[in-house]
Chains A and B, each alone.
Chain A
Amino acid sequence: MTEPTTRADAVLTVDHLTMRFGGLTAVGDLSFQAHRGDITALIGPNGAGKTTVFNCITGFYKPTEGMLTLAHADGSKHLLERLPNHAVNRISRVARTFQNIRLFQGMTVLENLLVAQHAPLMRASGMTVLGLLGLPVYRRAEAAAIERAKEWLVRIGLIERADDPAGDLPYGAQRRLEIARAMCTEPVLLCLDEPAAGLNPRESGELNALLRHIRDAHDTSVLLIEHDMSVVMEISDHVVVLDYGVKIADGTPGEVRADPRVIAAYLGVEDEEVEAVEAEVGLTVTHLEVEA
C-alpha cells in the first residue's frame, strides 16, 4: 500500500509512551507514528494495552512518561499529554469512540450530533447570551449545524431515525452514529476503539466503506483498535502490533501479517502450531518456512 512516509508527514507521533498503574506497566516505552491521510490500525491480543494508549492519546489518562505530538496540516503542533481532557478534542482536534458505546441514549440521534458541534454553536450563541435573546446569528448557526448533522445521517443511513432516541437504535447503527458524532467535531485524527466489535458481516462492510469515506473525503486520519482481522487487513494502510504493552511489529498489513512474532503473540500459540494458525489467517506455508 502506501510507502512508509517521512516523519514530517506524521499526524500523530507517539514517543516513548509509558503508562503505569501502580506496579503494573500497561504500556511500556511505545513509539509509533500515524501518518496523515492513513488509516492506522493498532492491534494486539486482549490486555495488550491498546485502549490504554487510546486513553492517553485522547486525554483520559495522563501518561507516566512519554510525549504525544499531534501535527495539524498547517504545521501547528500540539502536545496531547499536556492538554486537559476536553481540550484534546476542542483544540488539538482528536475525536474518539468508545469500546462500549457511549451515546447520549436518552437524547435523539439528531441531538447527539448537535452536542458534538458544541464549541461552534456556543460561539454562535454568544456564550448563550445572544442565543437566549433569540438573535438570528444563532438561528443561522443552528440551521447549519442541523444541515451538517443531516449530511452525516444520510451518510450513515440513519436520516429516517433522526428523531428517535439513540438508545433505541440497533447495535450496528449505534456504532455508526458514534463515529458520525465524533466526525461532527471535525477532527484531524479520529480514534476508533473496536468499531467493528459486535457487527455482522454486512454491517462490517458498511463500516469499512464509512471509514474509507472518512479517510478520502475529509481531512481526517484514522487510528483504530480492532480485533476483526478482516477489517484491519482490508482497510488499514499501516498496522502497529502491541503485546503486553510493547510494540512487536509495525508496518503495512502485508508485512505485519507475515511476521511470525505477531502470529504467535496475537494468537498465543507455540511455534509448532504456527503452521496451523497461518493457514487460518491466509498465509502461505512457504512464506513461513523462509522465516523459520
Chain B
Amino acid sequence: MAAATRGADGLTGILKDAAIYALGAFALCVPVVSFRTDAGATGGLELTPRWVLVAGLCAAIFLARLAQRLVLMRRDARRALRPSRSQATEAVSGTPNAGQRVSMLALWLFIGVALTLPVVAALASGSLGEGRYWIDLGILILTYVMLGWGLNIVVGLAGLLDLGYVAFYAVGAYSYALLSTTFGLSFWICLPLAGLFAALWGMLLGFPVLRLRGDYLAIVTLAFGEIIRLVLINWVDVTGGGAGISSIPRATFFGIPFTAGEDGFAARFGLTFDSMHRVVFLYYLILALALITNVVTLRLRRLPIGRAWEALREDEIACRSLGINTTTTKLTAFALGAAFGGFAGSFFAVRQGFISPESFNFLESAIILAIVVLGGMGSQVGVAIAAVAMVGGPEMLRNLGFLKSIFGQGFDPNEYRLLLFGLAMVAMMVWRPRGLISERTPSVALGERRAISGAHVSEGHG
C-alpha cells in the first residue's frame, strides 16, 4: 500500500503522516516521559511534569519522519525512471564482484590502521601518554573484533545461533584470574589453558543443545550464559561473588614485567620507563590474538570442516545424507568459537586486572551477536567494520560535550549510550537485514572467485 501511494499523495499526505507519527509519539510519551518520578522529601515518590520535553520529542519524531518520507519520495521518483535492480539473479552471476575487491582492500586497510594506531596516536597527540585514550579505545574495539570473529565461526559459518557467547568469555577470564591468583601461573601458560577450558565448556554445553533449532537454541544458550553468570555471582568461595576477583597479575613481556625497576622491561631494553609500554604491548597482544583468530577462520573455511559448517548452515538434512556427522561438526564449531572467546576472556582479565560477573551479562552477548549479524554473517571484514561502528560509535558520545550548551549542564550524552545503541540495532536491521557485507566468497574455485549474493546464502536453522 505504502509503495503505491507514496508518490501520489504529495506533501500534504506526508505532513499528515508525520503528524500521525508525532501524535503516536505523544501517546507513547504519556506518562513515562511526561512525569518524572523522584523520591520526595518524605520518602514517597513525587511527580515532576515535563511537558516541554514531550513536546520536543514529538517535534523531533515529526521532523525525522518528515525527512524520511521526503528522502523516500525522491528515491522512489528516481527509481521509477530506472528499471528495478532488486532481482535476486542480477547480482549473482556475471562479472567479478567489485565489492569483493573493496572488502579485501578494506581488510588490508583495517590491518594497516590497526598496526600503526599506537604510533599514529602518539604522533598526533604529542606523546604516548597523550595518545592513551586512542590506544585504549583500540584495545576495546579489537577485543570485540576478536569476539566477533570467534562468534562468527558459530553463527556466521555454522549458522548456530548462540546468545550466550559471553559465558565462554567469562570462562576464559575466570580461568586466567583463578589460575594466576591461586597457582601463580603466568599469562602465557594460562592463555592456552583458558582457551581449552572455554572449549571444554563449549562442548559440555553444546552437546545436549545442538540438536535444537533456531530460536530454541538461541534461548537455551542464553539460559546457559545466565546460569554461568549467576553461578559466578553466588559461588562466593571460589569466584569472589559479585565483588569479583581483583589484583590479577598484570601482563609481562614474555616474563619481563613492565616495572620501573632493574628487571623491568624498560631497563632491560634500554628505554626510559613509561607506563605506556604495557598498554602498547597489550594493544599489540590483542591485535595478534585477533589476527590469529582471523587467519585460522579463513584457513578453516577452505578445509573440509569449514565447508561442512557452511553446508550445515545451508541444509542440515542434505549434510546428513552425505555422511557428515552433524553433531560433531556443530560441536567443533561451538568449541572452537568458545576457545576464541576464552582467549579473549583471559586477555580481558590480564588487561583489567579486575573482573566481576557484571562484565559478562547478557548485554555483552547481545553486542557481540549484533556485531556478527550487522557485519554480515560469515564476513570477516564486515565483522571488523561492525565492531568499529558498534563499539567505537557509542564511545564518540563522550566527545559530544558541546551538547551541554544546548540541553543544559545536567545533560550527559554518555547516559544515552545504550539507548542509542538499542535504536541503532533496530535501525540497522531495518536498513540492512543481512548485514553490511552479505555476499559470500566461495572457498574454492576453478576460475576466478566470484562473490555469491546474499539472496542465495542461507542463514541456518540451528
Residue positions of A touching B, CB distance < 8 A: 58-60, 84-90, 95-96, 98, 102-108, 110-111, 114-119, 121-122, 125, 128, 131-132, 134, 138, 142, 146, 150, 159, 162-165, 167-168, 181-182, 185
Contacts and interface: CB of A to CB of B under 8 A. Distances in A.
B64 interface: no
B93 to A, nearest CB: 5
Interface stretch (B268-276, B302-310, B352-360): B302-310
Given A122-B305, A150-B446, 7 more contacts: A86-B319, A104-B311, A111-B442, A114-B444, A118-B307, A128-B305, A163-B442
Contacts of A117: 304
B321 interface: yes
Interface of B: 89, 92-93, 296, 299-300, 303-305, 307-308, 310-311, 314-315, 317-326, 332, 440, 442-450, 452-453, 456-458
Contacts of A134: 299
Contacts of A98: 317-318, 321
27 contacts: A58-B321, A59-B320, A60-B317, A60-B320, A84-B325, A85-B320, A89-B322, A106-B310, A106-B456, A106-B458, A108-B442, A108-B444, A110-B446, A111-B310, A115-B307, A115-B308, A115-B319, A116-B322, A128-B305, A131-B299, A131-B304, A146-B446, A150-B446, A163-B445, A163-B448, A165-B92, A168-B92
Which 10 A-B residue pairs are closest in the complex by CB-CB distance?
A106-B457, A90-B323, A89-B323, A104-B314, A121-B304, A102-B318, A167-B456, A131-B303, A106-B456, A115-B311
Contacts of A185: 322-323
Contacts of A164: 92-93, 450
A125 B307 contact: no
Contacts of B305: 122, 125, 128
B322 A125 contact: no
B322 A181 contact: yes
A115 B324 contact: yes
B310 A118 contact: no
A168 B307 contact: no
A83 to B, nearest CB: 11
Nearest to B322: A116
A60 B449 CA distance: 35
A254 to B, nearest CB: 33
Contact of B307 (A58, A95, A102, A111): A111
Given A111-B307, A168-B93, A185-B323, A105 B458 contact: yes
Contact of A118 (B300, B304, B332, B440): B304
A116 B315 CA distance: 13
Contacts of A146: 444, 446
A89 B326 CA distance: 13
Nearest to B447: A163
Contacts of B296: 132
Nearest to B94: A164
B456 A165 contact: yes
Contacts of B318: 98, 102-104
Nearest to B446: A162
A3 B304 CA distance: 43
B76 to A, nearest CB: 29
A111 B307 CA distance: 8
A122 B449 CA distance: 23
A111 B456 contact: no
A110 B300 CA distance: 17
Looking at B93, B307, B310, B440, the one whose CB has the most chain A CB atoms below 10 A away is B307
Nearest to B299: A132
Contacts of B453: 165
A85 B328 CA distance: 13
Contacts of B448: 163
B317 A86 contact: no
Nearest to B325: A86
Nearest to B442: A108
B322 A118 contact: yes
Nearest to A90: B323
B315 A128 contact: no
B99 to A, nearest CB: 15
B91 to A, nearest CB: 11
Of B299, B446, B457, most A-chain CB atoms within 10 Å: B446
A105 B456 contact: yes
Given A60-B317, A106-B440, A163 B450 contact: yes
A58 B314 CA distance: 20
A103 B310 CA distance: 12
A253 to B, nearest CB: 28
Contacts of B452: 106-108, 165
Given A106-B440, A110-B446, A132-B296, A119 B314 contact: no
B323 A119 contact: yes
B100 to A, nearest CB: 13
Nearest to A115: B311
